Structures are given as C-alpha cells and as structure tokens.
C-alpha cells in the first residue's frame, strides 16, 4: 500500500489513466486504435504533472518541513525523481510522436504548449507572491479531459467508416464531467492543508460548500450523459474497432457497465466523506476511476 501511495503521489496512475481513458474515448468515436497515441498521451500527462510537482517542491522547500503535508514533503525529498520522470516522459513522447500523423501532432502540441505555458505563468506568479485569481487545477483539469479527445479528432479529417461523432462527443463530455467531479472532491478534502501551505485551490477560491455542490452537480450531468450513451448504444450498434475480437452485443453491455462503475465510485466518495478521508481514499479511488476502462482492453473490446 505504501508503494502504491508513492506511485500515486508521482502521478503515475494519472498518466496511465490518461492513456487508458483516451483509448476508451477513441473507441467511442469509432477511431482507429494506436498504441503510439496512447503512449504519447501517457507521456504528456506524466510530463505536465512531474514538472508541476517539481516546481511546487522548489517553492515548498523554502518552508519549514513541519508546516508541509506528507505529500508535499515527499515532493521536496523526491525532486531528483521528478526530474528523471520529466526526462523519461519527454523521451517517450518524442519517440511516440515519430509514429503519429501530422494532424495528431498538431493537436498534441497545442495541448502540451497551452498547459505548459499556463503552468509556467502560474508558477511565476506564485514565486512573485502575486495572488492567483483562479486555481490552476481548474484549467489543467479541463485541458486534461479535452486532450483525451485529441487522437479521434485528428482522424476526423479522414474519418474511418465507423466514425461516430455523436457517441464519441457524449463520451468526451462524460470524461470531462468525471474529471471535474474528481478535482472538486480532492479540493474539498484538502482545503485545510492547502490553506496551511498557501496553495490556491478550488475550495479556497469558491468555498467548500460551493465546490462540493459543483462536484455533485457535474456527477448528475455525468449520469444524464450515461443514459444518453446507453440509449444510443441500444438503439444502434456501437462503433467497433477493426481488430475487435468480441461481438458488438457484448460491447453494448460492457461499455455502459464500466462507465456506470466510474460514476458510482465517485458518487460513493461524495456520499461518504468520512470514509473517503481515511488514508486518503478519495485521492486513490477518484484517480483510479480513469483506469477502469482497462477492463475493456482485457476483454478485447478496444
């Protein structure tokens, strides 16, 4: 469990979740699967989070250790590991990009440069002790969710025959809603720690009550999107991958089951805050939901 905690603090589970969820989103759009696109997305997510953690660690190192949370103290002591992860993710991203079409590279570069520039501006303002008018996780979360759609969008210029923009768009919106529910949940639970460390967050910006209600609200939106996806899945055939080894009927049942499990997990964390707070379950499980679609890989759906 301790090893998993360190992997989580290094955002390795977030990077894996980005790749897995991106493949699920691509499948929903009916796009052609690419391992290189999955690797590139994992590398991009790991690079963004590693650089952000490293910058936070540099700033946190200037404060007394007793005033830091265990997670922030871990970043301070693991700065060299964060630099190594940044270098590895950069190398992986460049390697994978050699096998991707120019359209995909254009979308990917746009998201990476936007996210990197935003984090750089945010860090510069924090270093100069300028108050942030908005928490950085609000923009990063939105960019994270939108980046998962980059690969299928890049195929829209020469769309495969099973391309389904409607079903794919609903899946992309569902992932965006789950990402916002995730960040609101974490922000509410870590409001006091962020206040003690002087770190901006949604809960400090909007208040704990409002942030929690936003999280519950987007979960209700996710439930609505789930029903719309369910209706479309059973009223017409789901897009099937060219190399799919299973029937469309099995896919029609398993896809909404996985999506429902993702929503239910986050809803349970919201409905039981005391249970969620034990050993930071809210962090581990809210990030783990984006790895749930890996079940579709195991069953040869994607």
3 state SS for the chain: CHHHHHHHHCCHHHHHHHHHHHHHHHHHHCCCCCHHHHHHHHHHHHHHHHHHHHHHHHHHCCCCHHHCCHHHHHHHHCHHHHHHHHHHHHHHHHHHHCCCCHHHHHHHHHHHHHHHHHHHHHHHHHHCCCCCCCCHHHHHHHHHHHHCCHHHHHCHHHCCCCCCHHHHHHHHHHHHHHHHHHHHHHHHHCHHHHHHHCCCCHHHHHCHHHHHHHHHHHHHHHHHHHHHHHHHHHHCCCCCCCCCCCCHHHHHHHHHHHHHHHHHHHHHHHHCHHHHHHHHHHHHHHHHHHHCCHHHHHCCCC
Contact indicator for 22, 37 with CB cutoff of 8 Å: yes
Range 9-14 average pLDDT: 88
The better pLDDT of the pair 39, 110 is held by 39
Q: How high is the pLDDT of residue 176?
A: 94
* 60-88 exposure pattern, b = at least 16 Cβ within 10 A, e = fewer: beeeeeeebbebbbbbbebeebbeebbee
The better pLDDT of the pair 248, 2 is held by 2
Q: How high is the pLDDT of residue 218?
A: 96
Q: Which residue has the tokens 């389904």?
A: 164
Comparing CA positions, the residue from 242, 269, 241 lying closest to residue 255 is: 241
The answer to whether residue 33 scores a pLDDT higher than 80 is: yes
Comparing CA positions, the residue from 122, 100, 127 lying closest to residue 48 is: 122
Diameter of the chain measured on Cα atoms: 60
Tokens representing 114 are 């936007």
Range 242-268 average pLDDT: 74
Q: How high is the pLDDT of residue 246?
A: 43
The answer to whether residue 213 scores a pLDDT higher than 80 is: yes
The answer to whether residue 260 scores a pLDDT higher than 60 is: yes
Contact indicator for 260, 290 with CB cutoff of 8 Å: no
The answer to whether residue 1 scores a pLDDT higher than 60 is: no
Report the distance separating Cα 73 and Cα 216, nearest Å.
31
The better pLDDT of the pair 247, 150 is held by 150
What is the average pLDDT score of the chain? 83
Q: What is the pLDDT of residues 134-188, one digit of tens each?
A: 667 777 788 888 888 888 888 877 777 778 888 999 999 999 999 999 999 999 9
The answer to whether residue 126 scores a pLDDT higher than 80 is: no
The answer to whether residue 227 scores a pLDDT higher than 80 is: yes
Lowest-pLDDT choice from 25-34, 157-166, 267-276: 157-166
Report the distance separating Cα 170 and Cα 238, nearest Å.
13
Q: How high is the pLDDT of residue 302?
A: 44
Q: How high is the pLDDT of residue 245?
A: 36
Report the distance separating Cα 224 and Cα 78, nearest Å.
42
Per-residue confidence band for 243, with pLDDT thresholds at 50, 70 and 90: very low
Q: How high is the pLDDT of residue 130?
A: 59
- The phi-psi region of residue 63 (left if phi > 0; otherwise alpha if psi is between -120 and 50; otherwise beta) is beta
The answer to whether residue 300 scores a pLDDT higher than 50 is: yes
Range 32-39 average pLDDT: 89
Q: How high is the pLDDT of residue 158?
A: 77
| Angle made by CA atoms 34, 36, 40, in degrees to the nearest 5 | 125
Q: How high is the pLDDT of residue 116?
A: 73
**Which residues 6+ apart lie within 8 Å of 263 measured at CB?**
178, 219, 222, 223, 226
Q: Distance of alpha carbon 48 from its chain centroid, rounded?
A: 11
Q: What is the pLDDT of residues 53-103, one digit of tens each?
A: 888 888 888 888 877 888 888 999 999 999 999 999 999 999 999 998 888
Tokens representing 9 are 């603090």
Q: How high is the pLDDT of residue 236?
A: 65
């Amino acid at each position: 469990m301790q090893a998993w905690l360190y992997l989580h603090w290094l955002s390795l589970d977030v990077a894996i979740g980005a790749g897995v969820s991106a493949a699920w989103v691509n499948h929903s759009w009916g796009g052609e699967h690419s391992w290189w696109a999955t690797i590139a997305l994992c590398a991009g997510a790991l690079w963004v989070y590693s650089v952000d953690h490293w910058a936070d660690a540099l700033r946190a190192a200037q404060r007394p250790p007793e005033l830091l949370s265990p997670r922030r103290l871990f970043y301070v002591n693991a700065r060299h590991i964060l630099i190594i992860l940044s270098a590895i993710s950069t190398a992986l991203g460049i390697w994978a990009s050699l096998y991707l079409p120019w359209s995909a590279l254009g979308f990917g570069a746009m998201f990476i440069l936007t996210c990197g520039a935003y984090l750089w501006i945010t860090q510069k303002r924090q270093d100069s002790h300028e108050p942030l008018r908005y928490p950085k996780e609000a923009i990063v979360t939105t960019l994270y969710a939108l980046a998962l759609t980059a690969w299928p969008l890049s195929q829209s210029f020469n769309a495969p025959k099973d391309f389904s923009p409607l079903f794919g768009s609903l899946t992309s919106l569902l992932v965006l809603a789950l990402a916002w529910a995730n960040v609101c949940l974490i922000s509410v639970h870590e409001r006091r720690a962020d206040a003690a460390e002087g770190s901006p967050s949604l809960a400090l910006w909007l208040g704990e009550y409002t942030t929690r209600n936003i999280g519950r609200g987007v979960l209700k939106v996710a439930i609505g999107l789930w029903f719309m996806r369910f209706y479309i899945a059973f009223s017409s055939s789901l897009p099937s991958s060219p190399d799919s080894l299973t029937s469309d009927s099995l896919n029609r049942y398993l896809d909404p089951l996985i999506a429902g499990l993702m929503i239910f997990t986050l809803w349970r964390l919201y409905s039981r805050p005391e249970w969620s707070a034990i050993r930071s379950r809210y962090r581990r499980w809210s990030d783990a939901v984006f790895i749930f679609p890996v079940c579709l890989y195991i069953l040869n759906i994607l």
